[in-house]
Structure 1
Amino acid sequence: MHESISVSLPTGRLDVSVRRADLPLDVLCGFGARRNPRRGFLFVSKVLGRHLPVRPSTMRDVHRRLARKLPDDLPGPVVVLGLAETAIALGRGVFEEYVRATGREDVLFLQSTRYHLSRPVAFRFSEEHSHASAHLVYRPEDARADGLMRAARSLVVVDDEASTGRTFANIVTAFRRELPALEHVAFAVITDWRPVASPRVALPEGLRSHDISLLEGEYAFTPADRPPIAMPRAEGSGELKDALISRNDGRFGLLAGKAAGSLPDVSLPGGKGRRVLVLGTGEFVYPPYLLAAELEQAGAQVWCQATTRSPALVGDAIGCALQFHDNYADGIDNYVYNVRPGDYDDVIICYETPADTVQPELIRALGARVVSFS
């Protein structure tokens, strides 16, 4: 499946060509402009549930497709790492589907986070082009989970897209420094834009790797002749966020077979025909996705999405934007894209943070109700 398109963005021209695809380009992603001087363009996933609303069943299909591409016989133990904030639900979903398909018990899920907690850090890495570049990965709190991580021979890094491979190289370097038993790395993404001619990822000697994706292609970006864009502050305060320790959805390691936990009982007044949006907040995305999936299975018309600290310009795939203060007490702006007041009959905003952190301006704008998971 070969396809080439050119997209005019406020920040420049993005030229994209597709080499291989399991699903069509326009099914998987659109394009937008970042408010970021380091990178002026944005691949806007249509199946991730972050910048665009997505049916939970569509998200699960993507989780399954990626999980089925992973070898059943990866050397164990295996660590699946989902990258904050964008790929936390994607990473967790791939982990769950891989465990379900293989029946393996030596698989551990971890997510990176931007938040400082009173827990020992396993390693840190940088996502250099990001609006918030510093990632932390904490040591698992469970002794067996910690043992699996320390003995890990395979690492599966899950992200929504790959463009240069630098972040992957940073992760592997940090991981290998702490866990010398590592021998195999898999990089799992929805869309892979790295050119074939360049090295995929610079790996330490002795490591084997392979790449899986639903689409492979290349891109070229020509910046517009315009004044540099000033990026809003998107890095947190660095203060401890220990209120988040009350939950463990991946920050402290999840073992295969661990129950996802009970979901809040959410009624849908007006019957199954109502259009419902379940909105996660920041890094809190997988439990809201499960809630959305449960409502969808009960027959409701449900879409799933999440707020983000990623600053984007309105245009192309970013049809509109709401801006408000974050709920993690960092004093930075957060956004929800492509959601207009009145689009849905019912909007449910899900929080892992304490009750006094909810976002009144967002709740009022969307006429939403709040569900607490804390």
Structure 2
Amino acid sequence: MVIEENVRTKNQGMTGAIINPGAIGDCILTLPLARFLKERLSLARLDMIANSDYVSFYPKRTCVDVVRSINSIAMHRLFVGPDEFELDQHDQLIRDFSHYDYIVSLLGEPGGSFESNLIFTVYCSRSAEVTTIRMHPAEGQNRHVAVSYIDQYCEANGLQCEGLSAGLNTELITPTADDKQAGRFILQSLGVNPDKPVIGIHPGSGGKYKCWHIDNYLALAEKVRKNGSVPVFIIGPAEKEHLNKAALNRINDEHTVAENYKLLEIMQILSTVQAFVGNDSGIAHLAAGSGLPAITVFGPTDPALYKPAGPHSHAIAVEPVDFDEPNPAAVEDVEHSLNELLAKTGPC
């Protein structure tokens, strides 16, 4: 699968690729690196090789020009030992990487078999720069992971990089006018007036341990409604798995629910709302990266490493116990932070 929009041909400039095997948030956290590569290397085209379910909407809305499905390339072949690795003369694997001048991989380890075999494969067709960086932070790391990705690239290639943390405060994803219109249509189909202030609430995450107690979100939603805004809960398969039936029934009985929408549609919904509140999750990274005023509630994970990047992103660290039981005081803190953020950013 290849998704692209208005890109130059490979004969019109240098091309690069980022290989990212991660989930929604992992891919969004590589967008500062993608922008750095395009600008620093003057790339005419940059591809993202990843799970297409997570990144298919990137062309036209991010600095990524082309999306390729990571499942369309036989990456597993690159994990064998170098002595066991074999390629045919016209191997598809060679063709898969034959048009890149620069490749940055978050798959494999620096100096590992995957990197060695990837370099060998690339050099079967052309001379290119291949850099492998670690996806997950090293023990004791205190740098934000998005900054770490750029730092690792610079360290591996002898480049000077300073002031990169400022790039975390800029918009990474720009919804189109069509996206905003589609988001309005979805809200209308849910019975919500898109001209009213809407607060998106996402109570889930890929890991249940990262989910603030659902009663806290329900209490926050009541406060949002009393303040004159419309809370809209975003619910998908992860939420249905992590939340008990009674909690799901209460959400559906008391509030508007955007349920089982595709990632592009969630992005379109978020492009129309006034603000977002949620856990450390891919949806929080999507909201903040799109420039939306976003509150992310952290407990077990470290916001210094994983705070969503964006111009109006705010992280709140609460006690881990609040993820196991309701805490009215913590709800008050989140509401206060939300109101402060909205006062600074104004209506969307």
Same fold (TM over 0.5): no
TM-score in terms of structure 2 length: 0.24
TM-score in terms of structure 1 length: 0.23
Greater length-normalized contact order (CA 8 Å, ≥ 6 residues apart): 1
- Structure (1/2) with the larger strand percentage: 1
- Structure (1/2) with the larger helix percentage: 2
